[in-house]
Amino acid sequence: GENVEQHPSTLSVQEGDSAVIKCTYSDSASNYFPWYKQELGKRPQLIIDIRSNVGEKKDQRIAVTLNKTAKHFSLHITETQPEDSAVYFCAASISGGSYIPTFGRGTSLIVHP
Amino acid sequence: GAVVSQHPSWVICKSGTSVKIECRSLDFQATTMFWYRQFPKQSLMLMATSNEGSKATYEQGVEKDKFLINHASLTLSTLTVTSAHPEDSSFYICSAPTGPSTDTQYFGPGTRLTVL
């Protein structure tokens, strides 16, 4: 089955700095890679996703890159703000709603004002 | 966007009792729903896949007789924790895709279960 590794487990940055979270996956059949943000005690919410036919996707301060050959993808947050503080999860799955996503272990991002 | 609700948001029960958690898709039909368990500061652990009109598929190590799942309609899946024990205390979250060909998972708000 799929195995997703996520690093680092904790990331502490100063407001305004950039933050990068990296994930690797094992199953070359995976072609859909979402990122979720979970604030304390709340539900995970999709913040950005990327498919295997694209190498990079950007949405304002958030970007995701994908290297299919190396089987890794990364989340980049620029100009971090205190409200970006949360746990971020990467996931990998095969496209199609019935396919179960495999989640990384999560990264706790702390943005210091 | 699509909305998934869960009820109750939190519950405290005595050891040995059963607790039912409901997961509803409010504005779409979900033939498949996923149930996760999350311990503090840990990732989402998939417990089972709930399939409308058929038996749930449980992940390895999850006791099907302890965690009963019923997906009786296209908008409702329930998870019943039977004979709950303190070690069952956790955050339970459901999710659902909006269709068989869609990728985005929409999560419920979660249910905090505390077993005394």
Q: Which residues of A touch B100 (CB under 8 A)?
A: 96-98
Residues A20-77 pLDDT 10s: 999 999 999 999 999 999 998 899 999 999 999 889 999 999 999 999 999 999 999 9
At residue B87, φ and ψ (nearest 5 deg) are -70, -10
Please, are residues B102 and B1 in contact by the beta-carbon 8 Å criterion? no
Shortest Cα distance, chain B CAs vs residue A88, angstroms:
10
Q: Is the pLDDT assigned to residue A97 strictly greater than 70?
A: no
**Hey, are the CB atoms on B103 and A105 less than 8 Å from each other?**
no
Q: Record the tokens describing residue B25, joined without a space.
A: 């898709």
Residue B76 φ then ψ, to 5°: -140, 130
Chain A nearest-CA distance from B37, in A, is 12
**Subunit contact A98:B34, Cβ cutoff 8 A:** no
C-alpha distances in angstroms, A55 versus A46, A47, A49, B20, B83? 19, 17, 11, 43, 49
Q: What is the mean pLDDT of each run of 10 residues along chain B (116 residues)?
A: 90 97 93 92 91 91 95 93 96 88 87 97
* Residue A104: closest CA among A87, A89, A83: A89
